A and B are shown apart, each in its own frame.
Chain A
Amino acid sequence: MAEWHAEWYLSTLSHWLLVGAAMIGLMLATYAVLRRLKVRREAAAGYALILPWLLGFLIWNAYPFAYSLYLAFTEYDVLQPPKWVGLENFKYMFFEDPRFWPSVKLTVLYAFISVPLGMAGALATAVLLAQDVKAVGFWRTLYYLPSVLPAAATALLWRWMFASKGLINTLLSPIYRLLDMEPLMWFADERLVLPSFVIMSFWGIFGANTVILLAALKNVPKELLEAATVDGAGPWTRFFKITLPMISPSLLYVMIMGIIGALQNFTAPLFITTPSGAGTFLNVYIYQQGFTQYKMGYASAIAWFLMVLILILTLLVLRWSEAWVYYEVEVRQKRR
């Protein structure tokens, strides 16, 4: 057994206690100073209470945000001070880097295929579970289980299942023989990397969405559905004209959170080796450029690109959603 190195833990523990105590001290001091400045009691307490977040925002969000924008226009290898290069990083990124656009394509396609698929699966499951099923808790737990697993474990598991002689190919071997084709190589085949990631994500995520959509389905007013039945609406009409619009805010939430998450996919691809980097998601690419190649300036430029990409795609989805979430508001207003 190697040395225990208690000092590693003790030094972090003492720093942790120190920062915690300092934070509470700062909060009390803020309150005292604001009171001295004749600020209302309530306001002073409010400012004091949100102080940890406010400090965190300034130190860990606002400053890094601005600084990474600056770095995006520099060349920086950590050892030498940053060197201003103007638009060079962006020029290289958009026009010269052979690995950039494939990575963007993979990331965006992954988000826009895996999220709707996952939502459809989750919605179908939630609808099934909403049918007065016995032991709903049991099924819900079962379906939710994969999303509890650490992404690292999920990734390793699927790499193993997708291995050339793994479980998937073994189960598919009768079909391969029937069609007289070579076994698929999944993660080891450049063309199949994307579908493999999509299948893996489908297994891993749709449980969590099922829980959200099931809760939304339970909140659809019964009287609305009954009234529609009286008016002669069949089950499909009820589903598409009432249920779906009524749960559309939850659908939107699941979609936006899913897309934002999928665009930042990091842990799984890091555990999955693919031929010639065909599985390099943008977030992984940024990590590689910044922390293995030490091109911190270029990595910052790509990080900013990713942020703008997330922003634009989120806004587009929001804009598009007005077409279907607005309808729900209308229904509610009619009801009142």
Chain B
Amino acid sequence: MGLTVRRILKSALVYACLTMGAAVVVVPLFWMVSTSLKGPDALFSYPPEWIPRPPMWRNYIDAWKILPFGRFLFNTIFITALAVTAELITTSLVAYGFARFDFRGRDVLFVILLATMMLPGVVTLIPSFLIWRRLGLVDTFDPLVLGAWFAWGPAYIFMMRQFFLTIPKSIEEAAIMDGANVVQIYWHIMLPMIRPALLAIAVLSFQGNWNNLQAPLIYLNTMEKYPMVLGLKFFEATLSKEAPMWNYMMAMSVLMALPIVGLFFAAQKYFIEGINIGATKG
């Protein structure tokens, strides 16, 4: 008897704590959406207005028109699509090489790869900028997408290699016996098997490219070439000089976050898998 009471009390406590935590998580998110639907007078009303009446859906259209946000969105999609595609192709090939082929210097090279994960990006930033400048490609999208062909993102290679290692070798050995070459094995046998890892990395890489601020900030000068993040930065810098229009800024923040949040809900499994593949070897 006493035991059941204790159990009920314990689970009530657990749910109470979880709900409190959830409130801390949700209230700011709710506030973000709520602010984006408010008129300028309602922004600072006291007591705070949680559900704006009436909701000003126009904010989204008005803010969208202040700067070329349609263009910003297109730029973001363009950059992200090219970078993610190239990244997926090259990181999976490199990981396949590290996981399945025996060659002299492999382990040393892999340790170097792991070491580059620790290298802060800012150390190589200035010389990389100088290379692109020498090539005359500053203020183009090239520096943001071409590097992806060089399998950037050592963490992705590492994750993918770990995944390759879980696939039994006997599967390929049968194909080798049948005289299949590396390209055929990769394409027909490995690619279907590594799909979960590919998707996990696609999701993480999408998120990384979508949110990346530093590279566009350094390489792009023309406003029409900005991706969403930089557009948001410019919006913030021009609008918030005198009176910050928080309703507009929150509206555009919501728009920028929406595709990522949508992707998260659609591919949640892969998001979580991606994080855990990275962590299990720790």
Contact = CB atoms under 8 A, between A and B. Distances in A.
Interface of A: 2, 5, 8-9, 11-13, 15-16, 19-20, 23, 27, 40, 42-50, 52-57, 59-61, 63-65, 67-68, 71, 78, 124-125, 128-129, 131, 133, 139-146, 148-153, 156-158, 160-161, 163, 165, 167, 170-171, 203, 207-208, 211-212, 215-216, 249-250, 252-254, 260, 263-264, 266-267, 270-271, 283, 286-287, 290-291, 296, 299-300, 303-304, 306-307, 310-311, 314
Interface in B225-276: 225, 229, 232-233, 236, 244, 246, 249-250, 253-254, 256-257, 260-261, 264-265, 268, 271-272, 275-276
Contact of B232 (A16, A42, A152): A152
B179 interface: no
19 contacts: A2-B224, A12-B140, A46-B101, A48-B97, A49-B101, A56-B147, A65-B124, A71-B127, A133-B14, A139-B22, A144-B264, A145-B25, A146-B25, A151-B211, A153-B257, A253-B279, A260-B118, A287-B122, A291-B217
Interface string B46-74: 11100000000000000000001000000
Contact of B123 (A11, A125, A212, A304): A304
Contacts of A68: 123-124, 126-127
Interface residues of B, number: 102
Interface in B99-118: 100-104, 106, 109, 112-113, 116, 118
Contacts, number: 290
Given A8-B141, A52-B150, A250-B282, A306 B101 contact: no
A19 B146 contact: yes
Contacts of B193: none
Contacts of B24: 203
B123 A264 contact: no
Interface string B121-148: 1111111111101000000111001110
B29 interface: yes
B102 A60 contact: no
A65 B116 CA distance: 11
B93 A150 contact: no
B122 A283 contact: yes
Interface string B187-213: 000000000000000000001001101
B26 interface: yes
A43 B104 contact: yes
Closest 8 CB pairs of A and B: A56-B150, A49-B97, A46-B101, A253-B282, A64-B127, A64-B124, A43-B103, A153-B253
A57 B112 contact: yes
Contacts of B154: 53
Given A50-B97, A156-B253, A264 B152 contact: no
